[in-house]
Amino acid sequence: MMTWIVSMSAMASLPTSAEIPVIPSNPQDVSRDPVSIYPPPAKNPEVEQPAPVQPPSLDSVGQRPLFADLEARKWLAEKGVTLAGRITLQPAANFGGYKGNGFSLVHQSNFSAAFDLERLGVVPGGTFKIGLTDRLGDSVNVNRTGSLIFTQGFYGQSESVRLSELSYEQILLDKKLAIKVGFAPMGADFGKLPYICNLMNSGICGHALGPTYSSGWRNDPTGQWGVRVKWTSKSGWYLQAGAYDVTPIRITPGHGFYLGFEGVTGAYFPIEAGYSWGKSPSDYAGTIRVGAYYDTSKAPLLGRPSAFVKGRSGLILQGAQQLWKPEANTVRGIAVFGVFTIADKASGLIRRNYEIGASWRGMLASRPDDIASIGWVRLNVNDHVNDGALLSQRRTNEQMFEVNYGFQVAPWLIARPVLNYNIRPGGYPGRQNAFMVAAHIQATL
């Protein structure tokens, strides 16, 4: 199950048939990992070779694009140009909140293209990618509850159109070594974990909020200039490291296509190692990952805003494991995941971040592609934030619980009703807890 998710883009590129294109359902992938939805040409042009049979993903359901049968799209894919697109709506209403009750709608559209330069006859093992993302709407959490965790996970990073990726990746040494350079979100390659984006809130889906609030870590859709080098072993181990710029202005409104370095504060150096086990649906597969980072930027000392410290660091631990299946050789079953992060004591807003959750694919035998999920996330606000603060303004931790059920309505459409309960929004004990009713509606084009 998770062996194939060491690189979700690599997993996604494996076709389920020669005729039906499939794209991963993970909403975080489309803008940064356009997938190859057709098998490679047969080695012998006179004898057509069948596409290899690959085990399906167990943590998400492959989506067949609505417009998969367009002749122009098929022709481009056969030549080596893969197009991908996705539109997502996240409506939500909050009941409770120190600024009252209300409703809001968040929208995100992703469009991307991947150019297989080997198929195009340019460079063996080379891939060029470009991605665009558009975000619109307001968050119930920002407007009314004041929480650090957003029920609508696609809110944030300024609601605007932006270039999310412009990158080149080269595969070498029998697919063991991958070198990626260009402009892309660092989170496209680091800190990813199976199952988490079966949940909708920003505290679980995508990446842990500890590094995001406590350093220059950037996630989709905001890109960074950088390089990533990754070594993957067939035994299941991988090791990767990278270097990226930290330019905060790109996350602000009106800078969606800004590729310069105005206001650059430093460089970001992530490193990550992991191991995955399980070769087929009959295995009880799992993964464990350890990551660390160092950001050279200057940051204000918490509790002493006039003083600064140079350099921020942190640690990320992640794991996931399938626990139960109703029968062998099935995609159905229950799996769990967990995440822990610790950030810089002097300057990290979120000192510790905890996440646990579970997903049950195919709870009903008649609906094997539905996924039910439950999750909990806790953000511990750094104690230094309270230095000199009044008792009524002191912050402790914020928590959010989520339960949802994802209906695979059509091969290209997911509808996921969501319930969230938010405790101590913003980490303020005196702030009213909030209950949210929401939905994640996703169409793969």
pLDDT tens-place string over residues 70-118: 999 999 999 999 999 999 999 999 999 999 999 999 999 999 999 999 9
What does the angle CA 147 – CA 355 – CA 93 come to, to the nearest 5 degrees? 35
Positive/negative CA dihedral, 368, 369, 374, 378: positive
Question: Percent of the chain, pLDDT > 70?
Answer: 87
What pLDDT is attached to residue 9? 32
What pLDDT is attached to residue 157? 85
CATH at 227: 2.40.160.180
- What global pTM score does this model have? 0.87
54 occurs within a structural domain = no
Least confident span in 141-145, 240-244, 291-295: 141-145
Summarised one tens digit per residue, pLDDT across range 252-263 is 988 999 999 999
171 occurs within a structural domain = yes
128 occurs within a structural domain = yes
Give the count of domains, the chain. 1
55 occurs within a structural domain = no
425 occurs within a structural domain = yes
53 occurs within a structural domain = no
Neighbours of 272 (CB within 10 A): 22
Question: Percent of the chain, pLDDT > 90?
Answer: 75
- Cβ-contact 415, 200 below 8 angstroms: no
27 occurs within a structural domain = yes
- Cβ-contact 60, 197 below 8 angstroms: yes
Inform me whether the pLDDT recorded for 64 exceeds 80. yes
Mean pLDDT for all residues in the chain: 87
376 occurs within a structural domain = yes
Domain residues for 125? 3-48+60-444
What pLDDT is attached to residue 24? 62
Summarised one tens digit per residue, pLDDT across range 151-202 is 999 998 877 899 999 999 999 999 999 999 999 999 999 999 988 999 999 9
Q: If you count DSSP H runs as helices and E runs as strands, how many of each does the chain have, helices first?
A: 4, 16
